[in-house]
A and B are shown apart, each in its own frame.
Chain A
Amino acid sequence: MSQVLHPIEHKIIRKLRDSAGLTYDELASGTKLAIDQVRRGLEWLKYKNLIEIKESEIFFVSLGKNGKDALERGLPERRLVNYVAQQKVRTLDEARTILPESELNAAIANARKNGWVEIKKENGSTTISLKDQTTNSAEEVLLSILKSKVQVDEIKDKDALESLKKRPDFVVFDSIKSKRVNLTKQGLEIATKLTESVGERKLTAEMLASGKWKEVTLAPIDVEAAASEIYVARTHPLHDVINEVREIFASLGFTEIVGNLAQSSFWNFDALFTPQDHPAREMQDTFYLENIIAKNVASLNQIKKVSESHKRGWKYQWKLSEAQRMVLRTHTTCVTIRHLAEKKPDEARVFSVGRVFRNEKVSYKHLVEFNQVEGVVVGKNVTLRDLMGLQTEFYHKIGLKKVKFWPTFFPYTEPSLQSMVYNERLDKWVELFGMGIFRPEVTKPLGIKNPVLAWGGGIERIAMLKFNLDDVRELYNNNLAWLRSVPKCP
């Protein structure tokens, strides 16, 4: 436990060394600290076991309604003797009129007790005669003390208090609870060693400039105390995963290409041999843009060749107007195929990453907008096994070691495979990227001669595996509590 004291602690301990058993308020006024500082300092000191705090209750007494009345008009016994003196009363019967019956007897008893009067029986009547009525009784003394509220402990004449207490509504009691602070044995030991000078809390530029630093000593500080939390500014965790994917692709020899999010149906669907009446092209799966049409979707030759491929393969009347409808791209493949159609490379390794859109209901496993990555390899001798090899290498680099492949179907690749990776946390195989070789119906019309290996999928799935998320929406909630706590290097 560190015994380096903060200046606040320092002041409190010194005060307690001088006078024990102080309340918080007394400490505040005695140390000239704000009450909040006192509270904080006491909290630290208590944690260090240098002080103990005792809770106690303090009782107060003050005058009740009848007490206040008596303060003004005198106690009944005083009023009795005053009357006797003024009216020259001789017998008790004559005195009766001054006080109500209920108070009279007590007043007589008290006046006698105080030695103010003498009561005698003479000739069948009871006489009253004054004695030493000028001295104040103990009750009268107390009554004037109680003009303002007094701590019960401070009243010395307990008998008088008892006497007033017996009278109805003469005095009232109340109490407040208070905490009193004392030094512990350990605290006392430290207190005796404390010097008056704390030292300078802070080294200032002025001290350095003026050379005053040579005369000052710096107060030790509590270097073990907890510091408040600050939040590190950082890039979004999903962005980090996207960048990691980019790095891996680049390290595998792939060059990044970019393209627009809004695309004509021609490049999103037609160029990929998706027939114009294919269910995937319906509005319930794809976002079409309202009142926006692509004017020049592709070169005349490209349009001619693609439409022929559709007519031959799907046996229907292909329409340019359908190909001109603008969509939010449903995959990054439209970017890839446009690039390949333009460059017609014999050999290439390119990749594309970015947002894609699906008209779905948002749920824990579906978003309307997510990130997809896609890589393609063009080459004379590239094979399906190469595609599997690249895929396996990619997963290894991203930290997924167990990979297997199943057949699947994609409209524009043949053969097609899906990759499954083993999720340790869920103890099951989960589907990840899809892959295949572009169909000749896709590549031939666009003048691409060599086989094209293509593979890709959603990056959010990888991010979910990395950050142990079960709900994909969490990636886009921008919940600061999560963004501030998720490790940069999971």
Chain B
Amino acid sequence: MPVVTLYFDRLQKLVGRKISKEKIISELPFIGLDIEEQTDDHISVEYSPNRPDYSTDYGIALGLQGLLCIKKGMPEIKIKNAKYTINVHPSVRRVRPLITGLVAKNGTLDDETIRQIIAMQEDLHNGIGRRRKKSSIGIHDLDKISFPLTYGTVTKDHRFVPLESSAEMSISEIMEKTEVGTKYGHILGDSKKVPIILDSHGKTISFPPIINSALTTISKKSKNLLVEITSTDKNTADDSLAIIASTLQNAGFELFSVKVSGLGNTLSSLKPRTTILQPDLVNRILGLNLSVPTIVSSLKKSRIGAYARGNSTIACSIPRYRTDIFGPMDLVEEVALGYGIENLHPTMPHSSFAGEKNKITTTLDSISELMVGLGYSEAMNFGLVSKEVQYDLTKKNQSKIISVIDSKSQGHTILRDSIMPGLIDTLSRNIHEPYPQKLFEIGVIFTKTNAEIREEIHMACVCAHNDVSYSEVKSVLQSVLKAGFEINCETRMSSNTMFSEGRMADILVGNKTMGFIGEISPEVIDNFKIRMPVAGFEIKLTDLVF
């Protein structure tokens, strides 16, 4: 989850009251923020990805103001009309058709403000921007730009000085040689022409969604900013723009509109949404009996605009930056947060249900009990295993491996088709523990037929000590099936690379093969670096006992 750094002194200023550190720390979890790290002058908090408006201390300050009753109700975003325009050229249709933006003037930036803004930009890129695929943001020094701007395309030999560089580079070079180029270049596909934003003098402002021009880099000296967002989805772009608008306004900037024209692009309206909330829904879901004024007040503490309309409905205004609110149920949660989760007292719902465990579960538990009675201890291994243990060391047939795509852990790349290799591996990790070692495991295994996957429950057991023999484990097999299910099984000579030749059999119930049993071959035992003879069996329980 994304993380925001909060300096206490800044946050106190933004909230507008000198609240103690302790108070801040105890209140933050109640607006849904998890404290990750704490030092003398700052804390780091994680925010949920559905609240990108909490990606800066400005956004978090708005939330705290509400909860602490310093400022309630919906914060308004004021955008003045202005003549800034961006003309969209039809050629962007295929690569990245949409653009929007705004201008922020007369503000001041310090290091921490710049850091917060850039961190927000990154979080928006990764979150709702889907790693810049859906939308990407450029923030520029307005005073370096002459309007109107053109959003169009250029070929890859177009040259400009990209951000954090001193020399001109061509688009091709940027895409091949810079970190952002290689990371995000794929978004543009194999298009020969790439999107570009040029100003009225033809100077390059940005090459979205990859990199800005060095020309418009913001610094502590910047007083006026241009924000542009290119995207493939209007709603996503407006979501981002609303969060940036709110943030910059709270940082002391005045906001002005930027008109976009061409290719169906329109001015972004960051007006709040209005909706109706039924108090009855709130009380039914929360299990409370709140009055309309209490619900209104709670919503306002959550920075939602609200007023009672008659006795039975509440009109709500949802600020545009609250991208997480879909419908009335989301507003119910806002009431709960405003009312205070700590004020909700748990109740026990009446129930006339008689609960029970699943039949399969209880059957498997009975088998465990029998195996324990036979002196076997239960092991628990993973279903997602390594090819080495499952196939290489056991010399098993590899033709039907089921793999997962792009596992981050080398030890977990394929699904097991048998439990026994894992148990032998368990023995190999316990060679220094006293023998005899007797283990069993019950679990799911996976098989594949014609690109369809099937899951079965198997049980396997292994027995390792100096006098272990085929007949010892056959006795166990017979006993557990007989004692558990009155099933008689037979064993028929077979062969399998995991076992010693002539000491391995298929397990037959009726005339169906349900598993295998035998003495593990010395070669496999040696592969696992075990220094003790091992015998065991594995049996399919699905379709046998349930």
Contacts and interface: CB of A to CB of B under 8 A. Distances in A.
A349 B455 contact: no
A377 B349 contact: yes
Interface string B318-343: 00000010110110110011000110
A255 B333 CA distance: 29
A349 B408 CA distance: 37
A236 B380 contact: yes
B448 A256 contact: no
A390 B348 contact: yes
A441 B327 CA distance: 9
A176 to B, nearest CB: 37
A256 B405 contact: no
A236 B29 CA distance: 36
A105 interface: no
B346 A289 contact: no
A258 B455 CA distance: 12
Nearest to B288: A385
Interface in B301-359: 324, 326-327, 329-330, 332-333, 336-337, 341-342, 344-349, 351-358
A464 to B, nearest CB: 14
B448 A292 contact: yes
A258 B360 contact: yes
Interface string A100-139: 0000000000000000000000000000000000000000
A384 interface: yes
A480 B430 contact: yes
B347 A386 contact: yes
B241 to A, nearest CB: 16
B333 A477 contact: no
B293 interface: no
A256 B446 CA distance: 23
Interface string A404-416: 1111110100111
A279 B132 CA distance: 12
A295 interface: yes
Contacts of A475: 380
A258 B378 contact: no
A287 B402 CA distance: 12
Nearest to B334: A415
Interface string A230-258: 01011110110001001101111111111
Interface residues of A, number: 91
A391 interface: yes
Contacts of A256: 355-358, 361
B409 interface: yes
B452 A440 contact: no
A246 B347 contact: no
Contact of A250 (B130, B134, B357): B357
A347 B349 CA distance: 12
A255 B355 contact: yes
Contact of A246 (B50, B344, B357): B357
Interface of A is mostly: mixed
A350 to B, nearest CB: 9
A349 B430 CA distance: 42
A407 B409 contact: no
B62 to A, nearest CB: 16
Interface in B239-295: 284-288
B377 A361 contact: no
A381 B32 contact: no
Contact of A476 (B336, B344, B380): B380
B76 to A, nearest CB: 25
Most chain A C-beta atoms within 10 Å of own C-beta, residue among B345, B372, B430: B430
A150 interface: no
B394 to A, nearest CB: 17
Contacts of B433: 480-481, 484
A255 B356 CA distance: 5
A301 B361 CA distance: 32
| Top-7 shortest CB links A-B | A383-B287, A409-B48, A415-B333, A385-B287, A253-B353, A389-B346, A256-B358
Interface of B: 29-32, 34, 48-51, 126-127, 130, 133-134, 233, 235, 284-288, 324, 326-327, 329-330, 332-333, 336-337, 341-342, 344-349, 351-358, 360-361, 365, 368-369, 371-384, 402-409, 411-412, 415, 426, 429-430, 433-434, 437-439, 444, 446, 448, 451-453, 455
Given A246-B361, A383-B284, 10 more contacts: A233-B373, A235-B368, A250-B356, A289-B402, A289-B415, A359-B406, A385-B286, A386-B347, A408-B32, A475-B380
